[in-house]
Structure 1
Amino acid sequence: MLAVHARYRGRATRRAELVERSAAALSTLDGVGEFEFLGVEDICADVDTATAVCEVVMALLADGSWAISIGVSGSDAKKTATEGLKPAARPGQVYATVEPTVAAGTGSKDAKEKAKKDSANIVSAFALLSFVLGKRTAEGREATSLVRSGLNQNEAAEELGISKQAMSQRLQAAGWAAEGAGWQLAVNLIAAADLDA
């Protein structure tokens, strides 16, 4: 079972309304349950797949105003995600907590070590993705957003009124290839941890 807990850390004056709108928008993503409000700044939802977890986390990272916790659990992923979010969490930080499970032939100590390593690997993948997103210019965010929405480079270039070569350069400068690789790594790590939970 998977869940995402997010805490708004931005400076909006009407933060409760912003958090509510964000929760409603995130709940429309495929494989994402309805976000539950846990306070003015906190929302949490069960998520069906590792891909859906990555979509939620990337949307929150792109906004830049959220601290995020991912929970992977065999019983209560929401609780695991909520407990994993540190009180002093800063915007752009991603935490992950994988609950250890004792498989046949594996000792409790080994299970705890594996869960700790899985958690650290997921956090590392999102730290790299956060770094890539943080270095993007407005033009890079615009270009990657169009390609992520399903347009090919030619269509995205036409939408922006630029040449295919200029579009290619924008995507390269925006770290599009690195984002794709990091995304796949994060999906794979979460999916593997979920199988073990």
Structure 2
Amino acid sequence: MFVMTTDQRQSRRDVDRVPEAVAALSAIPTIRSFDRTAGDEFQAVFDSPGALTDAIVILAELGPWSIGIGIGDVERPLPTQTRAGRGAAFERARIAVTDAKRAPHPVAVVGADPETASSAQTAARLLVLLVGERSEAGRAAVREMRRERTQSEAAATLGVTPQAMSQRLRAANWYLEEDTRMLVTRLLADAR
């Protein structure tokens, strides 16, 4: 199992962004849904590394989050509320979110095998870097491409030329995102 514990960065100088993040993540399939644990933290339980990767991307797009991923067993049956869960994955997620708060690319992965967890963490940090550093124009271009449009259709929707759309997608590293997502997903699965 995977447990994601997420903490809002610089929350003392910002508004509460937990409701916005939880709403943005609501379509992601989880075993136990995103649930506020305390203050500006929330947590969810996953069994799918692909869904976990999707959640990482959404949080990276939103910006001010430290993401901790714990991999391991959970006590069964899982309680109805995520925050009441127990087990190694929950404990590791707590360690991971603390580690993520100190990292320049704020995601950390802790699992039973430190080597595979470290590989998954490196890939997840690359994904956060790739997605998090996009300009607003790049984010808009990527949003249109995710709607499964052609590049020409996306350009027309944004009111830019196909050449400008191509430049935006290149600057946003759109062409690397899918490969990086697949790498993160595979490495998370290996670390399970």
| TM-based fold match above 0.5 | yes
**Quick check: 2:2–2:71 contact (8 Å CA) kept in 1?**
yes
Shift in CA distance, 193/87, structure 1 to aligned 2, threshold 3 Å? closer
Q: Distance in 2 between matches of 1:135 and 1:20?
A: 23
What's the CA shift for 1:48?
2.9
Deviation digits for residues 81-110 of structure 1, max 9, x if unmatched? 1232217815741010112xxxxxxxxxxx
In structure 2, C-alpha distance between the alignment counterparts of 1:175 and 1:88, rounded to whole Å: 23
TM-score (norm 2): 0.82
Cα 1:32–1:65 change in 2 (3 A) is farther
Q: Confirm or deny that 1:162 pairs with 2:160.
A: yes
Deviation at 1:132, TM superposition (A): 2.0
**Structure 1 residues 148 and 78, CA gap change in structure 2 (3 angstroms):** farther
Compute the displacement of 1:54 (Å): 0.7
Report what 2:3 is aligned to.
Answer: 3
Contact 2:2 2:69 in 1 (8 A): yes
Count of matched residue pairs: 177
TM-score by length of 1: 0.80
Deviation for aligned residue 1:32 = 6.1
Q: In structure 2, do the counterparts of structure 1 residues 172 and 137 end up closer, same or farther at CA, with 3 Å as the change threshold?
A: same
Q: Is 1:85 the equivalent of 2:86?
A: no
Question: Are 1:5 and 1:81, in contact at CA under 8 Å, matched by a contact in 2?
Answer: yes
Spell out, residue by residue over 1:117-170, the C-alpha distance to the aligned partner (whole angstroms, 9 max, x if none): 111111111222222234322211110121123323122112112222221221
1:50-89 correspondence runs (5 A): 50-75=49-74, 76=87, 77-86=89-98, 89=101
Q: Which of the two has higher C-alpha Rg?
A: 1
C-alpha distance in structure 2 between counterparts of 1:62 and 1:134, whole Å:
6
Give the structure 2 partner of residue 140 of structure 1: 138
One-letter identity of the residue aligned with 1:97: V
1:31-50 Cα distance to aligned partner (Å, 9 max, x none) = 46311221111101012311
- Of all paired residues, the percent bearing the same amino acid is 30
Return closer, same or farther for 1:158/1:175 CA change in 2, 3 Å cut-off: same
Structure 2 counterpart of 1:2, which letter? F
Structure 1 residues 87 and 69, CA gap change in structure 2 (3 angstroms): closer
Structure 1 ranges of 4+ moved more than 4 A? none
Between the aligned partners of 2:44 and 2:168, the Cα distance in structure 1 is 34
Distance of aligned partners of 1:59 and 1:10 in 2 relative to their CA distance in 1, 3 Å threshold: farther
Q: Is the partner of 2:38 in helix, strand or coil?
A: coil
Q: Is the 8 A contact 1:5 1:82 kept in 2?
A: yes
Q: What are the superposed Cα offsets for residues 20-72 of structure 1, whole Å, 9 maximum, x if unpaired?
A: 33224313323463112211111010123111101111111122200001111
Contiguous gaps of at least 5 residues in structure 2? 75-86
CA distance 1:117–1:193, change in 2 (3 Å):
same
